[in-house]
Amino acid sequence: MKKQHISEAVIRRLPRYYRYLDDLHNKGVIRISSNSLGSKMGITASQIRQDLSCFGEFGQQGYGYNVKELRGEIGRILGIDKKHTIIIVGVGNLGHALMQNFHFAQNGFSLEAAFDVSPALIGSEINGVLVRDLEELDAYCRASIPDVAVLTVPQSVAQQTVDRLVDLGVRGFWNFTNREVTSEHPDVRFESVHFADSLLTLSYHISRQ
Amino acid sequence: MKKQHISEAVIRRLPRYYRYLDDLHNKGVIRISSNSLGSKMGITASQIRQDLSCFGEFGQQGYGYNVKELRGEIGRILGIDKKHTIIIVGVGNLGHALMQNFHFAQNGFSLEAAFDVSPALIGSEINGVLVRDLEELDAYCRASIPDVAVLTVPQSVAQQTVDRLVDLGVRGFWNFTNREVTSEHPDVRFESVHFADSLLTLSYHISRQ
């Protein structure tokens, strides 16, 4: 892989490439041209070629891309083969929905545990994963530090939960609290899902019709 | 507002601008320079000036932006003042989480109703919104067509739910099913929330540490 600065915009398009290629692969498609892939994805063929060129040589002029190979390559670039470990902190409706429906394994993550404060939930299993008492979090992380914590706690405790987890050694956060959380630790990465950003994009478009 | 083609990338940044400006406004900040706003948002000042220039003249050289005014302008561009109506189709964990925690009104949407097939849910109220029998959907839409339907149904019925709603006149879809849904109707807009895209972006970054 070339060593160069990859822009955040390119990185954010990679999961979309992966998703489309995975879908094509599952449909039995063997090869695809950058033109056809672009028209499916609503981007230009030259954008695709430019994005992928950041990571090396893919495809052959006139032959298109081998779907399975390119999917595999992009998957590796995204770290899907790394088997990252992940825990869920906060098993309200959203945490519950993720445990029930989100395909962690397909995305290269092993969901190891969930934590909550509710006695009604502690000790139960959701989709084969044990919900533990939040009080056990420190001991749990001391035994094995998860790569990522999913933040599905109430907003009021979002930052303090981050601080506690960073102290315990967690460096990746998938933040659903719709609250900006921060850390002074240089290696900590936050990825936030902002539902409102998505709905407002739709609002923009339907306001113009 | 200037009439010109606005790229999807710019449109997708608008909700972020709105979010940051709203936050600044709530903190009592009156003015902000494109430099400070850019450093908060992790983008360059010139990107901000360029993005906003698509929509008209904002701010004054050397004086920065009036936070409240710019927030208002971007809100109007996004259609937040339009009071769009929205319904939720599928009140599983995710639908439930959105009803309980998502601030529809703050984003210019009025959540009018929710629909599900489960007898245990039908007739209940969540956060003041009635859960109706999915069988009532047709009659409901005939009386008043919602601007947007939130798709939180199982994947297996995602496309048929879209088809039914499009037939009933719904033109905006906020899709949480992680399934690509389509319509041949030219005015229909889909906005999909792909949790995996977000997690894989995080995966990319933590794989490189």
Q: What is the mean pLDDT of each run of 10 residues along chain A (209 residues)?
A: 70 93 95 93 90 81 88 95 97 95 95 98 97 98 97 96 98 94 95 95 92
Structure confidence at residue A4 (pLDDT): 60
**Are B35 and B104 within one domain?**
no
**What one-letter code names the amino acid at A205?**
H
Predicted pLDDT of residue A178: 87
Evaluate whether residue A208 is within a structural domain.
Answer: no
Residues in A closer than 8 angstroms to B189, CB to CB, are 202, 205-206, 209
Contact B178, B155 (CB under 8 A): yes
Which range (A129-138, B145-154, B176-185) has the least confidence?
A: B176-185
Please give the pLDDT value at position A82.
94
Please give the structure tokens belonging to residue B24: 């600044």
What is the pLDDT at residue B110? Answer: 98
Residue B168 has pLDDT above 70, yes or no: yes
Q: In A, which residues are within 8 Å of B19 by CB distance?
A: 194, 196-197
Q: How many residues does chain B have?
A: 209
Residues 97-136 of B with CB under 8 A from A: 97-98, 100-103, 106-109
Q: Residue A34 has what pLDDT?
A: 92
Q: How far apart are the first and last CA of chain B?
A: 44
Q: Which residue has the tokens 């889909």?
A: B190
Looking at the structure, do residues A103 and A188 belong to the same domain, yes or no?
yes
Instruction: Quote the ipTM score.
Output: 0.94
pLDDT of residue B4: 60
Contact B15 A193 (CB under 8 A): no
pLDDT in tens, B19-32: 999 999 999 999 99
Pairing of strands B129-133, B109-116: parallel
Pick from B77, B111, B135: which residue ends a domain? B77
- Domain CATH number, residue A35: 1.10.10.10
Of B196, B204, B206, the CB nearest to A147: B206
How many domains, chain A? 2
Do residues B55 and B146 share a domain?
Answer: no
Whose CA is closest to A204, among B144, B9, B87, B11? Answer: B11
Identify the domain boundary among B77, B101, B136. B77
Q: Using the beta-carbon criterion (under 8 Å), do A189 and B206 form an inter-chain contact?
A: yes
Q: Which domain holds residue B28?
A: 8-77
Cβ contact, residue pair A101, B84, below 8 Å: no
Q: How many CB pairs under 8 A join A and B?
A: 184
How confident is the model at residue A2, as a pLDDT? 46
Q: And the tokens for A13?
A: 């398009």
**B57-113: pLDDT as tens digits:** 777 777 889 999 999 999 999 999 999 999 999 999 999 999 999 999 999 999 999
Is residue A35 assigned to a domain? yes
Question: Are both B119 and B49 inside the same structural domain?
Answer: no
Q: Do A93 and B101 touch (CB under 8 A)?
A: yes
